[in-house]
Amino acid sequence: MALEDAKKQVDQAFTRDDLRGLSFENAFGGAPSFLRRKYSKDLKGVDVAITGIPFDQAVTNRTGTRLGPRAVREASSLQPFDPPIYWDGYSPLEALAIVDYGDMAFDYAKVSEFPAALTEHIRGILKGGAASIAIGGDHYISFPILRAYAEKYGALSLLHFDAHSDTWADDDMERIDHGTMFYKAVKEGLVDPARSIQVGIRTVNEDNLGVPTLTAREVHEMGPAAVAARIREVLGDAPTYMTFDIDCLDPAFAPGTGTPVWGGLASWQAAAILRDIAGINLVGGDMVEVSPPFDTTGATAIAGAHVVMEMLCLWGWTRR
C-alpha cells in the first residue's frame, strides 16, 4: 500500500483531504509542510496546529533563526512514513488531526509591535480549539506565546531544555531579548517557578528565581531515565508548556544555532528523556533557535524536526 501511495502522492501540503494519516510522498519532492500536513487556517476539528514564527531580532549573537521554520519543515519530510520509534506503536500522525498553520505574518520593521501580534496569533489558535506547537525563530518567542497560554490555563509549569537559563534579570517588559524572557514570565505570573524545571543548563546565572535546574553535567551523570523521573516529579499533573532550545544539544549534534555552548546533550539523550516523560500534562510548546546559515549538514534542522514530533507524541499520549 505504501508503495502504491508513493506513486501518486505529491504536494500533500495542499492536496491531502484527511488531516490524519501517514504520508508516502517522496521525501525529496513536493511542497514542504511540516510532516506533510495540510496547510490550513481552518481549525475546525483540529487537535494541534504547527506554526512557524520566523523572528530573530532578539538575538545576542548570530542571526539566522528566521529561516528556521522553513528548514525544519524540509527536514521533517523523512518522518511521515512510519510511526515514531519507541512509542509502543503510538502514531500521532494517525491519531491526531494536525495542520500546518503556516508562518505568522508581521512587519519586520516594527519590532515593538511583534510581541502583541504573536500573542494574538497564538490566542487565535487556542480560541479555535487547537493546541499550538511553534517552530522558531529565536527563543524570545516563548514569552508572548506564554501570555496567550496563561490566559487559558493560568500560571503554567515550564519544561525548558536549553544551554542557558534565560532568566537573567530584566524588569523592562518592553525589551525584546532572547536571554531574559523567562525572568519576565516568572515576574509576570505566567510561569510557576516551583513547578517548572530547566534541563541541560551549562552557563552561569546566580539567581534562577527558584526554578529547579538540571545542568548538562548532571544529565550526563544521572542518565536519561533518572532525569525523566525528576522532570515528572517536579511537573506532576500541572498544565505544562514545553520549550526546547536546540542549543540544549551539544554543538557536535546541533551546530546550526546562534549561541552554541560545549558539553551539551547528545541527540540520543534528548530522545530518551522525551520518550520517558510520557504522561506529563503537555498543553503546548515550541522548538527554537535552529539557524540554517550555520547548519552546514542539516543536522540541526533534522534534530529540531524530531523534537517537534516528540512533542506531538507527548501531547497526544495523555489524550489517547
For 246-260, write each residue's pLDDT tens digit: 999 999 999 999 999
Using one digit for the tens of pLDDT, what is the confidence trace for 89-139? 999 999 999 999 999 999 999 999 999 999 999 999 999 999 999 999 999
Asked whether residue 82 is marked as a ligand-binding residue, the answer is: no
Q: How far apart are CA 16 and CA 277, in angstroms?
A: 32
Using one digit for the tens of pLDDT, what is the confidence trace for 141-169? 999 999 999 999 999 999 999 999 999 99
CATH topology of domain 2-317: Arginase; Chain A (3.40.800)
Using one digit for the tens of pLDDT, what is the confidence trace for 280-300? 999 999 999 999 999 999 999
Residue 234 CB neighbours (<10 A): 19
**pLDDT for residue 160:** 98
Exposed, middle or buried: residue 220 (CB in 10 Å: 0-12, 13-18, 19+)?
middle
Asked whether residue 107 is marked as a ligand-binding residue, the answer is: no
Q: How far apart are CA 137 and CA 176, in angstroms?
A: 13
Asked whether residue 162 is marked as a ligand-binding residue, the answer is: yes
Cell numbers for 191: 510561569
Confidence grade of residue 7 (pLDDT, cut at 50, 70, 90):
confident
In this structure, of 4-18, 54-68, 238-252, the range with the lowest mean pLDDT score is 4-18
Mean pLDDT along residues 65-70: 98
Asked whether residue 164 is marked as a ligand-binding residue, the answer is: yes
Helices (H), 192-295: 216-222, 224-235, 267-276
Q: In this model, does residue 1 exceed pLDDT 60?
A: no
Amino acid (one-letter) located at 32: P
**Do 93 and 35 meet the contact criterion of CB atoms below 8 Å apart?**
yes
Q: In this model, does residue 269 exceed pLDDT 80?
A: yes
CA triple 38-296-284, angle to 5 deg: 40
Confidence grade of residue 6 (pLDDT, cut at 50, 70, 90):
confident
**pLDDT for residue 80:** 97
**Do 288 and 142 meet the contact criterion of CB atoms below 8 Å apart?**
yes
Asked whether residue 166 is marked as a ligand-binding residue, the answer is: yes
Q: In this model, does residue 2 exceed pLDDT 80?
A: no
> Position of cell 487556542?
126
Amino acid (one-letter) located at 212: P
**pLDDT for residue 50:** 99
For residue 105, what is the DSSP state? P
Q: What is the mean pLDDT of the chain?
A: 97
Mean pLDDT along residues 39-62: 98
Asked whether residue 121 is marked as a ligand-binding residue, the answer is: no
Confidence grade of residue 5 (pLDDT, cut at 50, 70, 90):
confident
**Residues 6+ away with beta carbon under 8 Å from 8:** none
**pLDDT for residue 3:** 67
| Residue 9 C-beta-side C-alpha neighbours within 13 Å | 24
**Do 197 and 214 meet the contact criterion of CB atoms below 8 Å apart?**
yes
